[in-house]
Amino acid sequence: MELRARVNAALKESMKAKEADRLSTLRLINAAIKDRDIEARGDGSDEGVGDDVVLAILGKMVKQRQESARAYEEAGRLELAEKEQAEVKIIEEFLPRQLSDKEVEKQIDAAIAEVGADSIRDMGKVMGVLKAKFTGQMDFGKAGPMVKARLG
C-alpha cells in the first residue's frame, strides 16, 4: 500500500503549502481509491485495494483527462485543456515510468516467448502476462495491436 501512503503524504504537503489546484487533484485521486475500497468491501475483503488496483485507477484517470484535454482543445477551450494537462502531470507523479515503444516491443516479444504463443488465439495469454508485469507502465490500447501484428 505504498502508493496510497505517497498520495496521502502529498495531500498533506499540498495542504500545508496551500497549493489549491494540486490539492484538488490529490483529493480526486484519494476519492477514487476510497470508492474502490468500498467496492472491495462488498466482496468480503476488509483491507483496502492494493497498489496494482491503485495503478489501474491512476492510469484510467490520466486517460480520461487526456481525452478531455483533447476535446477542450478541439472546442477552442484552451484554459480548460491546460487545467486537464496540469492534472495529468500531478497524477503521473505517482505512476511508474512509461516504457518507450522499443521497450514495449521487446517486452511483447518476451511475453510471446514466455507463453509460447504462435497464433492470434494466444493473444489473451500474452496480454495477461503483459498486464501482470507492466500495469501503469504500458498503454495496453497501443500494445494490443502490436501483439496482434506479431501473432497475425
Query: Is the model's pTM score more than 0.75?
Result: no
Residue 21 belongs to domain spanning: 2-92
Please name the residues in contact with 137: beta carbons below 8 A apart, sequence gap of 6 or more: 95, 96, 97, 98, 99
Shared domain check, 107 and 56: no
Please name the residues in contact with 91: beta carbons below 8 A apart, sequence gap of 6 or more: 25, 29, 58, 61, 62, 65
Q: Is 100 helix (H, G, I), strand (E, B) or coil?
A: coil
Shared domain check, 10 and 60: yes
Residue 122's domain is classified under what CATH number?
Answer: 1.10.10.410
91-136 pLDDT tens trace: 999 988 888 889 999 999 999 999 888 889 989 999 999 988 887 7
Shared domain check, 52 and 121: no
Total of domains in the chain? 2
Residue 40's domain is classified under what CATH number?
Answer: 1.10.1510.10
Q: How far apart are CA 43 and CA 40, in angstroms?
A: 5
Q: What is the mean pLDDT of residues 14-37?
A: 94
Shared domain check, 112 and 40: no
What is the DSSP-derived secondary structure letter of residue 116? T
Q: How far apart are CA 118 and CA 112, in angstroms?
A: 8
